[in-house]
Chains A and B, each alone.
Chain A
Amino acid sequence: MSGLFPGFLTLSAAMFALGALGVMVRRNPLVMFMSIELMLNAGNLALVTFARYTQTMAGQVFALIVIAVAASEVVVGLALITGVYRSGRRLDIDALSEMRE
Protein backbone atom coordinates (compact mmCIF):
# COMPACT_ATOMS: atom_id res chain seq x y z
CA MET A 1 0.00 0.00 0.00
CA SER A 2 2.92 2.24 0.45
CA GLY A 3 3.30 2.26 -3.26
CA LEU A 4 -0.13 3.80 -3.62
CA PHE A 5 0.95 6.89 -1.77
CA PRO A 6 1.79 8.83 -4.90
CA GLY A 7 -1.44 7.61 -6.42
CA PHE A 8 -3.52 9.10 -3.65
CA LEU A 9 -1.72 12.40 -3.94
CA THR A 10 -1.99 12.54 -7.68
CA LEU A 11 -5.69 11.83 -7.47
CA SER A 12 -5.98 14.62 -4.94
CA ALA A 13 -4.12 16.93 -7.30
CA ALA A 14 -6.33 15.94 -10.18
CA MET A 15 -9.48 16.60 -8.20
CA PHE A 16 -8.10 19.93 -7.10
CA ALA A 17 -7.24 20.91 -10.64
CA LEU A 18 -10.64 19.91 -11.87
CA GLY A 19 -12.26 21.90 -9.13
CA ALA A 20 -10.20 24.94 -10.04
CA LEU A 21 -11.12 24.46 -13.65
CA GLY A 22 -14.75 24.36 -12.70
CA VAL A 23 -14.46 27.63 -10.82
CA MET A 24 -12.76 29.28 -13.76
CA VAL A 25 -14.94 27.96 -16.54
CA ARG A 26 -18.49 27.54 -15.33
CA ARG A 27 -20.82 30.49 -15.11
CA ASN A 28 -23.56 29.08 -12.89
CA PRO A 29 -22.78 30.05 -9.32
CA LEU A 30 -24.15 26.79 -7.97
CA VAL A 31 -21.79 24.73 -10.10
CA MET A 32 -18.94 27.02 -9.10
CA PHE A 33 -19.77 26.35 -5.52
CA MET A 34 -19.75 22.66 -6.07
CA SER A 35 -16.35 22.93 -7.69
CA ILE A 36 -15.13 24.66 -4.57
CA GLU A 37 -16.47 21.75 -2.56
CA LEU A 38 -14.57 19.46 -4.86
CA MET A 39 -11.37 21.33 -4.12
CA LEU A 40 -12.01 21.04 -0.40
CA ASN A 41 -12.51 17.34 -0.78
CA ALA A 42 -9.26 17.04 -2.64
CA GLY A 43 -7.56 18.78 0.22
CA ASN A 44 -9.16 16.39 2.67
CA LEU A 45 -7.88 13.43 0.73
CA ALA A 46 -4.36 14.77 0.79
CA LEU A 47 -4.60 15.46 4.52
CA VAL A 48 -5.75 11.99 5.37
CA THR A 49 -3.14 10.45 3.11
CA PHE A 50 -0.39 12.24 4.89
CA ALA A 51 -1.90 11.42 8.25
CA ARG A 52 -1.76 7.77 7.38
CA TYR A 53 1.75 7.88 6.14
CA THR A 54 3.27 9.95 8.88
CA GLN A 55 1.25 8.07 11.44
CA THR A 56 -0.02 11.21 13.13
CA MET A 57 -3.58 12.24 13.92
CA ALA A 58 -3.26 15.87 12.95
CA GLY A 59 -4.30 15.20 9.39
CA GLN A 60 -7.52 13.48 10.37
CA VAL A 61 -8.41 16.13 12.91
CA PHE A 62 -7.83 18.81 10.36
CA ALA A 63 -9.94 16.99 7.79
CA LEU A 64 -12.75 16.83 10.33
CA ILE A 65 -12.56 20.53 10.89
CA VAL A 66 -12.47 21.16 7.15
CA ILE A 67 -15.72 19.28 6.80
CA ALA A 68 -17.28 21.44 9.47
CA VAL A 69 -16.03 24.59 7.84
CA ALA A 70 -17.24 23.45 4.44
CA ALA A 71 -20.65 22.85 5.87
CA SER A 72 -20.95 26.28 7.36
CA GLU A 73 -19.62 27.86 4.22
CA VAL A 74 -22.15 26.02 2.10
CA VAL A 75 -24.94 27.22 4.34
CA VAL A 76 -24.04 30.86 4.06
CA GLY A 77 -23.18 30.67 0.38
CA LEU A 78 -26.43 29.03 -0.58
CA ALA A 79 -28.31 31.61 1.43
CA LEU A 80 -26.60 34.28 -0.61
CA ILE A 81 -27.34 32.58 -3.90
CA THR A 82 -30.95 32.22 -2.88
CA GLY A 83 -31.03 35.89 -2.11
CA VAL A 84 -29.64 36.68 -5.51
CA TYR A 85 -32.20 34.46 -7.16
CA ARG A 86 -35.02 36.03 -5.24
CA SER A 87 -34.01 39.53 -6.22
CA GLY A 88 -34.70 38.58 -9.79
CA ARG A 89 -31.25 38.62 -11.26
CA ARG A 90 -29.85 36.00 -13.55
CA LEU A 91 -27.77 33.21 -12.04
CA ASP A 92 -24.82 33.94 -14.25
CA ILE A 93 -21.54 34.95 -12.67
CA ASP A 94 -20.55 37.13 -15.61
CA ALA A 95 -23.81 39.04 -15.39
CA LEU A 96 -23.43 39.36 -11.64
CA SER A 97 -19.91 40.79 -11.86
CA GLU A 98 -19.83 44.29 -10.41
CA MET A 99 -16.13 44.81 -10.99
CA ARG A 100 -16.43 45.69 -14.63
CA GLU A 101 -16.78 49.21 -15.79
Chain B
Amino acid sequence: MTVIFGMAAVLAFLGAVGVVVSRRTIYSALSLVANMIALAVLFLLLDAQFLAAVQVIVYAGAVMVLFVFIIALLAPGAEERIRPLELRVLVGGVAAVVFTVMVGRLTLNGITVGADGRFHGGVGPFSPQLVNAHGQVQTLGEQLFTTFLLPFEVTSLLLLVAAVGAVYLSRHRRTGE
Protein backbone atom coordinates (compact mmCIF):
# COMPACT_ATOMS: atom_id res chain seq x y z
CA MET B 1 0.00 0.00 0.00
CA THR B 2 2.53 2.46 1.12
CA VAL B 3 4.77 1.67 -1.77
CA ILE B 4 2.02 2.25 -4.28
CA PHE B 5 1.12 5.43 -2.53
CA GLY B 6 4.69 6.58 -2.63
CA MET B 7 5.06 5.95 -6.31
CA ALA B 8 1.77 7.56 -7.21
CA ALA B 9 2.50 10.53 -4.99
CA VAL B 10 5.89 11.04 -6.55
CA LEU B 11 4.41 10.88 -10.01
CA ALA B 12 1.68 13.32 -9.08
CA PHE B 13 4.19 15.69 -7.61
CA LEU B 14 6.51 15.52 -10.56
CA GLY B 15 3.61 16.05 -12.87
CA ALA B 16 2.55 19.12 -10.93
CA VAL B 17 6.06 20.50 -11.03
CA GLY B 18 6.16 19.82 -14.70
CA VAL B 19 3.03 21.84 -15.34
CA VAL B 20 4.52 24.88 -13.71
CA VAL B 21 8.08 24.61 -14.85
CA SER B 22 7.92 23.44 -18.45
CA ARG B 23 9.03 25.84 -21.11
CA ARG B 24 6.82 24.49 -23.76
CA THR B 25 3.06 24.60 -23.34
CA ILE B 26 2.56 21.14 -24.71
CA TYR B 27 4.90 19.67 -22.14
CA SER B 28 2.82 21.31 -19.40
CA ALA B 29 -0.28 19.66 -20.78
CA LEU B 30 1.32 16.26 -20.86
CA SER B 31 2.61 16.67 -17.30
CA LEU B 32 -0.88 17.47 -16.21
CA VAL B 33 -2.13 14.30 -17.78
CA ALA B 34 0.46 12.33 -15.89
CA ASN B 35 -0.62 14.07 -12.72
CA MET B 36 -4.20 13.14 -13.30
CA ILE B 37 -3.44 9.51 -13.88
CA ALA B 38 -1.44 9.39 -10.71
CA LEU B 39 -4.38 10.98 -8.98
CA ALA B 40 -6.64 8.26 -10.31
CA VAL B 41 -4.35 5.71 -8.69
CA LEU B 42 -4.58 7.59 -5.46
CA PHE B 43 -8.35 7.55 -5.70
CA LEU B 44 -8.20 3.80 -6.05
CA LEU B 45 -6.14 3.64 -2.91
CA LEU B 46 -8.85 5.65 -1.18
CA ASP B 47 -11.59 3.17 -2.13
CA ALA B 48 -13.16 5.59 -4.60
CA GLN B 49 -13.11 3.33 -7.60
CA PHE B 50 -15.88 5.03 -9.50
CA LEU B 51 -14.29 8.36 -9.07
CA ALA B 52 -10.99 7.03 -10.32
CA ALA B 53 -12.72 5.88 -13.45
CA VAL B 54 -14.44 9.20 -13.92
CA GLN B 55 -11.13 10.99 -13.39
CA VAL B 56 -9.50 9.05 -16.17
CA ILE B 57 -12.41 9.11 -18.58
CA VAL B 58 -13.67 12.62 -18.12
CA TYR B 59 -10.84 14.66 -16.74
CA ALA B 60 -7.80 13.11 -18.34
CA GLY B 61 -9.65 11.73 -21.29
CA ALA B 62 -11.91 14.59 -22.34
CA VAL B 63 -10.79 17.78 -20.71
CA MET B 64 -7.12 17.31 -21.26
CA VAL B 65 -7.68 16.16 -24.80
CA LEU B 66 -9.53 19.40 -25.40
CA PHE B 67 -6.62 21.24 -23.91
CA VAL B 68 -4.13 19.49 -26.12
CA PHE B 69 -6.20 20.23 -29.18
CA ILE B 70 -6.38 23.90 -28.36
CA ILE B 71 -2.67 24.06 -27.72
CA ALA B 72 -2.05 22.38 -31.00
CA LEU B 73 -4.35 24.84 -32.68
CA LEU B 74 -3.09 28.00 -31.07
CA ALA B 75 0.45 27.75 -29.91
CA PRO B 76 2.04 24.43 -30.68
CA GLY B 77 5.61 25.43 -30.25
CA ALA B 78 5.09 28.24 -27.81
CA GLU B 79 7.89 28.81 -25.42
CA GLU B 80 8.10 30.95 -22.43
CA ARG B 81 11.07 32.05 -20.47
CA ILE B 82 10.71 31.99 -16.75
CA ARG B 83 13.01 34.20 -14.87
CA PRO B 84 13.59 32.49 -11.55
CA LEU B 85 15.18 35.49 -9.95
CA GLU B 86 12.24 37.80 -10.44
CA LEU B 87 10.73 39.09 -7.21
CA ARG B 88 7.36 37.69 -8.06
CA VAL B 89 8.77 34.22 -8.55
CA LEU B 90 10.82 34.25 -5.40
CA VAL B 91 8.03 35.49 -3.19
CA GLY B 92 5.58 33.10 -4.77
CA GLY B 93 7.93 30.20 -4.35
CA VAL B 94 8.54 30.93 -0.73
CA ALA B 95 4.87 31.35 -0.13
CA ALA B 96 4.15 28.03 -1.81
CA VAL B 97 6.66 26.24 0.35
CA VAL B 98 5.38 27.83 3.50
CA PHE B 99 1.85 26.92 2.55
CA THR B 100 2.69 23.30 2.09
CA VAL B 101 4.63 23.11 5.30
CA MET B 102 1.87 24.76 7.31
CA VAL B 103 -0.76 22.43 5.99
CA GLY B 104 1.49 19.52 6.63
CA ARG B 105 1.94 20.58 10.21
CA LEU B 106 -1.75 21.04 10.61
CA THR B 107 -2.53 17.63 9.31
CA LEU B 108 0.05 16.05 11.52
CA ASN B 109 -0.87 17.86 14.69
CA GLY B 110 -4.36 19.12 14.35
CA ILE B 111 -6.16 16.07 13.09
CA THR B 112 -5.82 12.80 14.87
CA VAL B 113 -6.21 9.35 13.44
CA GLY B 114 -6.47 6.82 16.14
CA ALA B 115 -4.89 3.45 16.50
CA ASP B 116 -8.00 1.79 15.19
CA GLY B 117 -7.47 3.49 11.83
CA ARG B 118 -10.50 5.63 12.29
CA PHE B 119 -10.70 9.36 12.02
CA HIS B 120 -11.71 10.96 15.23
CA GLY B 121 -13.54 13.90 13.77
CA GLY B 122 -16.95 12.51 13.34
CA VAL B 123 -17.51 9.36 11.34
CA GLY B 124 -20.33 8.47 8.98
CA PRO B 125 -21.85 5.14 8.08
CA PHE B 126 -20.24 4.63 4.69
CA SER B 127 -17.37 2.33 5.46
CA PRO B 128 -15.56 0.86 2.44
CA GLN B 129 -16.95 -2.59 3.15
CA LEU B 130 -20.50 -1.31 3.18
CA VAL B 131 -20.03 0.63 0.00
CA ASN B 132 -18.43 -2.27 -1.79
CA ALA B 133 -21.17 -4.57 -0.62
CA HIS B 134 -23.86 -2.24 -1.83
CA GLY B 135 -22.05 -1.22 -4.92
CA GLN B 136 -19.97 1.87 -5.60
CA VAL B 137 -22.05 3.27 -8.37
CA GLN B 138 -25.32 2.56 -6.63
CA THR B 139 -24.26 4.26 -3.45
CA LEU B 140 -22.99 7.28 -5.23
CA GLY B 141 -26.06 7.43 -7.39
CA GLU B 142 -28.39 7.20 -4.45
CA GLN B 143 -26.64 10.02 -2.68
CA LEU B 144 -26.62 12.09 -5.82
CA PHE B 145 -30.32 11.77 -6.36
CA THR B 146 -31.48 12.13 -2.79
CA THR B 147 -29.36 14.15 -0.44
CA PHE B 148 -27.50 16.05 -3.13
CA LEU B 149 -30.28 16.47 -5.66
CA LEU B 150 -30.13 20.24 -5.78
CA PRO B 151 -26.40 20.48 -6.55
CA PHE B 152 -26.90 17.85 -9.19
CA GLU B 153 -29.62 19.78 -10.95
CA VAL B 154 -27.71 23.03 -10.73
CA THR B 155 -24.65 21.39 -12.18
CA SER B 156 -26.66 20.20 -15.13
CA LEU B 157 -27.81 23.74 -15.66
CA LEU B 158 -24.23 24.86 -15.46
CA LEU B 159 -23.20 22.40 -18.14
CA LEU B 160 -25.94 23.73 -20.37
CA VAL B 161 -24.80 27.27 -19.85
CA ALA B 162 -21.22 26.32 -20.57
CA ALA B 163 -22.17 24.61 -23.78
CA VAL B 164 -24.25 27.53 -24.98
CA GLY B 165 -21.50 29.91 -23.94
CA ALA B 166 -18.84 28.07 -25.79
CA VAL B 167 -20.89 28.04 -28.96
CA TYR B 168 -21.60 31.72 -28.66
CA LEU B 169 -18.06 32.75 -27.88
CA SER B 170 -16.54 30.92 -30.75
CA ARG B 171 -18.88 31.99 -33.48
CA HIS B 172 -17.37 33.73 -36.47
CA ARG B 173 -17.82 37.43 -36.45
CA ARG B 174 -18.69 39.00 -39.74
CA THR B 175 -16.90 42.26 -39.24
CA GLY B 176 -13.91 40.71 -37.46
CA GLU B 177 -14.05 41.92 -33.86
Which A residues fall within an 8 A CB radius of B? 1-22, 24-28, 30-31, 33-35, 37-38, 41, 44-45, 48-49, 51-58, 60-65, 67-76, 78-83, 85, 87, 91
- Which one of B20, B46, B95, B162 lies within 8 Å of A75 (CB-CB)? B162
A-B contact count (CB 8 A): 244
Cα–Cα distance between A34 and B111 once the two chains are bound (Å): 31
Given A41-B35, A79-B165, A81-B70: A9 and B107 interface contact (C-beta under 8 Å):
yes
Is B133's CB within 8 Å of the partner chain A?
no
Cα–Cα distance between A53 and B126 once the two chains are bound (Å): 10
Given A4-B5, A79-B169, A79-B170: A91 and B74 interface contact (C-beta under 8 Å):
yes
- Which one of A45, A62, A71 lies within 8 Å of B62 (CB-CB)? A71
Cα–Cα distance between A62 and B154 once the two chains are bound (Å): 13
* Interface of A (DSSP majority class): helix
Interface residues of B in 2-39 (CB under 8 A from A): 2, 5, 9, 12-13, 16-17, 19-20, 22, 25, 28-29, 32, 35-36, 39
- Which one of A2, A6, A30 lies within 8 Å of B107 (CB-CB)? A6
**B13 (CB) vs chain A CBs: closest residue:** A14
Q: Give the distance to chain A from B88, nearest Cβ to Cβ, in Å.
A: 6
**A57 (CB) vs chain B CBs: closest residue:** B143
Q: How many residues of B contact A (CB 8 A)?
A: 89
Cα–Cα distance between A73 and B10 once the two chains are bound (Å): 28
Check B177–A87 contact: CB distance below 8 A.
yes
Check A10–B63 contact: CB distance below 8 A.
no
Check A26–B82 contact: CB distance below 8 A.
yes
- Which one of A6, A25, A60 lies within 8 Å of B108 (CB-CB)? A6
Is B77's CB within 8 Å of the partner chain A?
no
Check B2–A4 contact: CB distance below 8 A.
yes
Cα–Cα distance between A2 and B123 once the two chains are bound (Å): 14
